[in-house]
Amino acid sequence: MSVEKTTPAVAAKITQDPPRASDRSENSLEMAIGRELRGFRRKQEVTVAELANRTGLSIGMLSKIENGNTSPSLKTLQTLATALSLPITSFFRRFDGRRDAIHTKSGEGITTEAADRRACHQTHLLGHIGAPSSGVIAKPYLVTLSQEADDVPTSQHGGTETIYMLEGAMDYRHGDKLYRLTAGDSLQFDADCPHGPTAAADLPARYLSIVSASQNS
């Protein structure tokens, strides 16, 4: 079997390709900004001429920005944002890097709390994903109660939490209130108040716990 050798000319061509890919990335940012500007302007029923009067920018310049043919400065974007009563970040909201979905196979979740011999309470983190534009991160947990327990620890943390009962039944405490949850029930609450299961009525009891909180909390 013969193996072809890359000639210097071909090698040089290969090394010259990446910069063009980078140029496309820059152009896509300009296109994204242009699409957002056009969308906000039309939603507010503002013509290009009216926006030009509000901002002092020429109609030609606005047309170039909306068509992605020029890269507007931050000062120009701030002027446009003020004229349309928008935060400047609105122009970048759809340009966040794409995040792949998180696929966790059965049994592959990370055990975050070892099963306690008395409580028989086990929690698996199924993954987590953050949204940089909103500053929020969500963490889904699969919680299993396999035996009756009187000492399942309560939790207290920032953000909100959503419980979705998968099977079994249990009493769940939030603050000074107690909720009976059965398969198919859900419960959403502020997580800065003490909360947690207090007793399982039908074992095993399994539920999803989805915690949403600020990335800085």
Chain position carrying tokens 């940089």? 132
CA dihedral sign of residues 61, 67, 73, 75? positive
One pLDDT digit (tens) per residue for the chain, 217 residues:
444 444 443 333 333 333 333 344 445 788 888 988 999 999 999 999 999 999 999 999 999 999 989 889 989 999 999 999 988 888 877 665 555 555 556 666 555 544 444 445 677 666 656 555 556 788 888 888 886 655 566 788 888 898 899 999 999 998 889 899 999 898 988 888 889 898 777 888 999 999 888 765 5
* Structure-token pair, residue 43: 């939603």
Residue 158 and residue 191 in contact, taking contact as beta carbons nearer than 8 Å: yes
pLDDT of residue 156: 85
pLDDT at 17: 39
* DSSP for 62-84, written as a single string: HHHHHTT-S---HHHHHHHHHHT
Report phi then psi at 72, rounded to 5.
Answer: -70, 145
CB 34 within 8 A of CB 76: no
What's the pLDDT at 23? 41
**CA–CA separation, 5 vs 18, rounded Å?**
21
Terminal-to-terminal C-alpha distance of the chain: 60
Tokens of 152: 């399942």
Element (H, E) at 209: strand 195-214
CA dihedral 167, 169, 174, 179 (to 10 degrees): 120
Looking at residue 15, its pLDDT comes to: 34
Q: Cβ–Cβ contacts within 10 Å for residue 32, how many?
A: 17
Say what the pLDDT of residue 84 is.
92
What is the distance, to the nearest Å, from the Cα of residue 38 to the centroid of all Cα atoms in its chain?
Answer: 25
